[in-house]
Amino acid sequence: MRLWSDEIEALRPEAREVLARDFAAVEALIGERKPIADRDERVAQARASMAQAFTPLEDAIEREIAGVPCRLFVPDGDARAVYLHFHGGGMMVGAPEMNDIGNKELCRRFGVAVVSVDYRLAPEHPWPAGPDDGVAVAEWILAKGGDEFGADRVVIGGESAGGYMAAAVALRIRDELSAIDHVDGVNLVFGVYDWGRSPSQRGIRPVDGPDILDPDGIRFFADCYLPGRTDDERREPAVSPAFADLRGLPPALMSVGTGDHLLDDTLVLASRWAAAGNEVELFVAPELPHGFMAFQCGITARWADTTYAWFGRVVPS
């Protein structure tokens, strides 16, 4: 089984050089990791650091949908579909603004209306508050998207914790709303799908390169989001998508780097997604870390091409 092509393999030396050159700058942008014992102080510091990395665009639309704040980009005329997007941040930090540039480009390139959900965050709002918000917005789009945007077809996606949110919401659309036939695709970018801490989350990775995640930080996110639960309890299917029944789901694109502490989450979910009879395309970026699109090189350019090609296939014409 090969996880990447000869073309990607030939681009590894360049990617290694870019990572060595640029990692410190990217890490500084998202904030220095300081050992802080107090939970609330650590959360506040992480949120302040993450906010510095946002690049908000003035033409985004702020709107409340189903009681949940959302950030929208809409095309001129009827949308071809609605892209229901979830931002990253470990279920503890982050906001839709952090994806404004990418979401606006998807709106422009594919004529989709983008709805990025400002879901509630832990520790103030632990599981299932965030997914509850996502399902509420999804249900509204399925009922009113045709009137509001000219489309009731949905593509769901997100990065990191947003990838988890996208997978969790897709499963609940299938199980609670009986409307998975209205979802044309799921774009899952280096998400966390095993809240019981997969091997890579615990530090067992195939490469030892730098990463913006580490086992201690992942454990802290999980403790905020799922307090008082053991690792086994965090693997309940309703919590961890990697342990859910995955039958009857739409085509998925899953992306991750081998230097990512969430590598195993994607590898497990992708194999189980395919074994359940669903279509899945897997993009593995050798040696690259969590948030790999921040490192501009040949491999990340191929990932962008792959992502746009996938959207071109799943978004209705």
> Is 200 designated active site?
no
Position 30 scores a pLDDT of 73
* Residue 170 clears pLDDT 90, i.e. is over it: yes
pLDDT category at 49 given cuts 50, 70, 90 is confident
Confirm whether 304 is domain-assigned.
yes
Residue 185's nearest CA partner among 156, 145, 163, 159 is 156
Q: Which one of the listed residues 85, 182, 261, 290 is annotated catalytic? A: 290
- How many alpha carbons lie under 13 Å from residue 133 in its C-beta half-sphere? 25
Pick the more confident residue, 241 or 55.
241
> Is 116 designated active site?
no
Could you list the residue range(s) of the whole structural domain that residue 283 is in? 6-314
The residue whose two tokens read 């090969």 is 2
Position 26 scores a pLDDT of 86
Number of domains in the chain: 1
Confirm whether 222 is domain-assigned.
yes
Q: Which one of the listed residues 160, 200, 240, 255 is annotated catalytic? A: 160
Position 36 scores a pLDDT of 81
d(CA 115, CA 103): 9
pLDDT category at 53 given cuts 50, 70, 90 is confident
C-beta separation of 127 from 84 below 8 A? no
* Residue 55 clears pLDDT 90, i.e. is over it: no
Position 61 scores a pLDDT of 98
Q: Which one of the listed residues 184, 260, 264, 265 is annotated catalytic? A: 260
State the CATH number of the domain containing residue 17.
Answer: 3.40.50.1820
Confirm whether 15 is domain-assigned.
yes
Which ranges constitute the DSSP H helices of 150-198?
A: 161-175
Position 180 scores a pLDDT of 98
Position 37 scores a pLDDT of 83
> Is 175 designated active site?
no
* Residue 57 clears pLDDT 80, i.e. is over it: yes
Q: What is the mean pLDDT of residues 2-16?
A: 98
C-beta separation of 106 from 138 below 8 A? no
pLDDT category at 12 given cuts 50, 70, 90 is very high
Query: Among 46-60, 87-101, 103-117, 143-157, which is the least confidently predicted range?
Result: 46-60
Position 29 scores a pLDDT of 74
Q: Which amino acid is at 32?
A: E
pLDDT category at 51 given cuts 50, 70, 90 is confident
Position 31 scores a pLDDT of 65
Token digits of residue 281: 């395309």
Confirm whether 1 is domain-assigned.
no
3-state class percentages of the chain: helix first, strand second, coil last, to nearest 5: 45, 15, 40
Token digits of residue 39: 């939970």
3-state secondary structure of 184: strand
Position 32 scores a pLDDT of 60
C-beta separation of 218 from 231 below 8 A? no
The mean pLDDT of the chain is 96
C-beta separation of 141 from 177 below 8 A? no
State phi, psi for 208 to the nearest 5 degrees: -110, 25
**What are 204-236's pLDDT values in tens digits?**
999 999 999 999 999 999 999 999 999 999 999
Position 33 scores a pLDDT of 66
Confirm whether 59 is domain-assigned.
yes
**What's the full length of the chain, in residues?**
317
The strand pair at 68-73 and 61-65 is best described as antiparallel
**What are 20-40's pLDDT values in tens digits?**
999 999 888 776 666 788 999
**What are 263-310's pLDDT values in tens digits?**
999 999 999 999 999 999 999 999 999 999 999 999 999 999 999 999
